[in-house]
Amino acid sequence: MRVYIAGSGAMGSCFGYKLMKTGDPVVFLDHWAEQIDSLNNGGLRFGREDSADVHHVHANRPEEARGEVDLIILFCKSMQLEETLAGITGILGARTQVLCLLNGLGHVDTLKKYVAERNIFIGVTTLSASLPEAGRVCCHSLGKTEIQSISGDMIRCGNIVAELNYAGIPTHASDDVFKAIWKKACINGTTNAFCTLFDCNIHGLSKVPGIEALVEAVVREFAALAQAQGTKLWPKKISNEILDLYQKSSAVGEHYPSMHQDLRQKRRPTEIDFLNGYVARKSAELGLEAPHCQMITEAIHGLEALYL
C-alpha cells in the first residue's frame, strides 16, 4: 500500500516508521522545513539518540506531492486539519483513502469538505509518541487504535486494519468509534485542560479541592452534546475512571499531558477549540448549557495569550 503521512511530527513519524519497516512505501508531507531537511538528508531516526534505528525516507512539502495514493494518514494537530486537507487536494484521487486519528471533535465535518465520504476513515489511538528533535521519533506505548469507515465500507476498513496490525500497531475495526472518540475527548477535556491550568502532572490533580465535582460537570457537558449528536455516554462512569487516574502516583500520575507539554513547555497553541471549545460552541448552537467548557476554553486561550 502506497502511504502518505500528512503531518510528520511525533505520531506521523511513528506510524510512518512502523509501516515502512514492514515494506510499505511511505512519503512524509510537512511544511516544517527543518523536519523535511532532516528526514531527506539524515533519514528518520527511531528511538534513543545513541542507539536510534535509521531509515532512509522521502519527505516533501504538501504542494510538491504528486500522483495518486492508496492511503493518506493525517497527523497534524486539530487546528491544522483544514489547512492540511486544503494542501493535499492534488493527491486525493477517486480511491484515495484518508484516515484521521487526531484527538478532538468535529473532524468528520471538516473531512467531508475535501474527501468523498466513501474514502473517509475516522478513529482514535492511544499510541503515544514524541519527537525530541527534528528527524528523531520515540514511541512510548503502542496503545490501541480503532477505526471505522464513515460510509460503512467494512472491506476497505479491514484492509487498513490489517495493514496497521502487520506494521505492529495494534488496531481493530469498530462499529461505534464515536463512543471512543468522545470518551478520549472527555479525558483530554478534563485532565489535559486541568493539568495545563493548574500547572501540575496528573497525580497533582488529586490535590485540587473540588476536582471531583469539576470533572463530573465537564464530562456531563460533553455527554449532553454527544447524546444530541447520537452517541450515548455514561458520564458518572467516565468521571470515575478519570478520577481514578489522578490517584495513581506511578508512571501515569507522573505524566504531564500533551496540552501541558504543548503550551507550558513548548509554547505552542493547544487543541482546546476542538475539545471543550467544540462542546461550548456546538452546545450553544443547540440551546444546551456548557458553562464549564466555555470557561475552560477561555482560560486556556488566556494562558495562550500570556505564553505564546
Chain residues in the site for ligand NAD (CB under 6 A): 6-12, 29-32, 35, 62, 75-78, 80, 83-84, 87, 102-103, 125, 128-129, 131, 258, 271
Q: Which is nearer to ligand NAD, 107 or 203 (CB)?
A: 107
CB of 212 to ligand NAD, least distance (A): 26
- CA torsion sign for 60, 64, 70, 76 is positive
CA 17, CA 54: separation in Å to the nearest integer? 10
Q: Would strands 58-60 and 171-173 be described as parallel, antiparallel, or unpaired?
A: unpaired
Cα distances (Å, whole numbers) of residue 183 to 30, 153, 236: 29, 24, 12
Amino acid identity for residue 175 in this structure:
D
Euclidean distance between the first and the last CA atom of the chain, given in angstroms as a whole number: 40
CB of 60 to ligand NAD, least distance (A): 10
Q: What is the dihedral of CA 119, 232, 255, 30, to 10 degrees?
A: 20
8-11 contacts, C-beta under 8 A, 24 or more apart: 8/32, 8/35, 8/36, 8/39, 8/59, 8/75, 9/35, 9/75, 9/76, 9/131, 10/129, 10/130, 10/131, 10/137, 11/75, 11/101, 11/125, 11/127, 11/129
What is the residue whose three cell numbers read 476554553?
297
Q: Find the length of the chain.
A: 308
Residues in Cβ contact with 227 at an 8 Å cutoff, skipping those fewer than 6 apart = 233
The residue from 21, 144, 184, 248 that is catalytic is 184
Q: Which is nearer to ligand NAD, 138 or 219 (CB)?
A: 138
Kindly state the cell numbers that stand for 212. 471531583
> Is 184 a residue of the active site?
yes
The residue at minimum Cβ distance from ligand NAD is 9
CB of 232 to ligand NAD, least distance (A): 24
Q: Which is nearer to ligand NAD, 21 or 31 (CB)?
A: 31
CB of 209 to ligand NAD, least distance (A): 29
CB of 130 to ligand NAD, least distance (A): 6
Q: Which is nearer to ligand NAD, 29 or 122 (CB)?
A: 29
**Spacing of C-alpha 202 from chain mean position:** 19
Q: Which is nearer to ligand NAD, 80 or 171 (CB)?
A: 80
Q: Which is nearer to ligand NAD, 98 or 224 (CB)?
A: 98
Q: Would strands 136-141 and 44-46 be described as parallel, antiparallel, or unpaired?
A: parallel
Print burial letters for 67-102: b (CB count within 10 Å at least 16), e (below 16).
eebbbbbbbbbbbbbeebbebbeebbeeebbbbbbb
CB of 266 to ligand NAD, least distance (A): 9
Q: Which is nearer to ligand NAD, 77 or 220 (CB)?
A: 77
CB of 279 to ligand NAD, least distance (A): 16
Q: Is 229 helix (H, G, I), strand (E, B) or coil?
A: coil
Would you please indicate which residues are annotated as catalytic (active-site) residues? 184
